[in-house]
Amino acid sequence: MADTVTSDTLFSGTKRQIRKFTNHSDGTGESAVTKIDISGLPGGPSAVKIDKVWYDIEGMQVKVLFDHTADDTALILSGSG
């Protein structure tokens, strides 16, 4: 079995994005994959913030990184919440 990964845009506006990321993993996982590049967002924002995160993660953890001058950790997620 291979990883099954999907990235969906549920809503895209000039001030708000709603994204859905799904990974059914075989254990090989992804590593530092760019999911959102702010230079490609509508309106060309120079900064963004994360308002809400819903997650359900089993058997691993997910690090949400943002690239400033290096990869900085925004969130480390495991379990559900």
**Residue 40 backbone phi and psi in degrees, to 5:** -100, 5
Q: Give the total number of structural domains in the chain.
A: 2
pTM over 0.85: no
Q: Look at residue 66 in the predicted model and tell me its pLDDT.
A: 86
Q: Is the CB of residue 42 less than 8 Å from the CB of residue 36?
A: no
8 and 39 within one domain = yes
59 and 44 within one domain = no
41 and 5 within one domain = yes
In the chain, where do the E strands start and end? 4-12, 17-24, 56-67, 71-80
Work out the average pLDDT over 59-75.
Answer: 85
42 and 75 within one domain = no
80 and 65 within one domain = yes
Q: Look at residue 1 in the predicted model and tell me its pLDDT.
A: 64
Domain ranges, residue 7: 1-27+35-48
Output the CA–CA distances (angstroms, integers) from residue 47 to 26, 72, 79, in the order listed: 34, 15, 29
Q: Look at residue 19 in the predicted model and tell me its pLDDT.
A: 93
- Reported as a single tens digit per residue, the pLDDT across 16-66 is 999 999 988 887 777 878 888 888 888 888 888 899 999 999 888 888 988
39 and 15 within one domain = yes
